[in-house]
Amino acid sequence: MNLRAVLPATAGLTVAADQVTKAIAVATLKNGESVRGIDGLVHWTLQRNPGAAFGIFQRVPVLFTILAIAISVVIVASARRVRDRFHGAALGLVLGGALGNLADRLFRPPGPFRGRVVDFVDLRVWPTFNLADAAIVVGAVLLAIAGMRAEKAAVRQP
């Protein structure tokens, strides 16, 4: 895949997967309902989160809408500086996750900038989350790895 296509393709696939899985969760689960999933390791529990990750800061949903917009703008503006596919995929995951949750905040009840994010993946040992949240975390870890790789490469070069 073309280097310039990695970031937008990864972001687009992430947003699509996130929104499709959220639509399925909303269509098949009642709010607060929990269904046993894969060998009891995963449960599907529908929750609507007005706050940030893990339900913190629930009283300021507008802040997270603005933050998601800002993160998305920064990633898009820096896309031209991506030098390898690994870094592009990592940024694409973060961008896709931010856009997936942003879509919820803009288009889900109770209204624009105050919409609640749909969470449904319940591991029982971690707060309930969605694919956008997972993409952001995985993307951030990959960005840290990309940074360490770049640092090692810089040390090797005179």
Is 133 catalytic? The answer is: yes
Catalytic member of 18, 104, 122, 133 = 133
**Catalytic site residue from 18, 104, 119, 122:** 119
The answer to whether 4 touches 92, Cβ cutoff 8 Å, is no
Strands 34-36 and 43-49: antiparallel
The Cα 101–Cα 65 span in angstroms is 9
Quick count: other Cβ atoms within 10 Å of Cβ 122?
Answer: 20
Active site amino acids: 119, 133
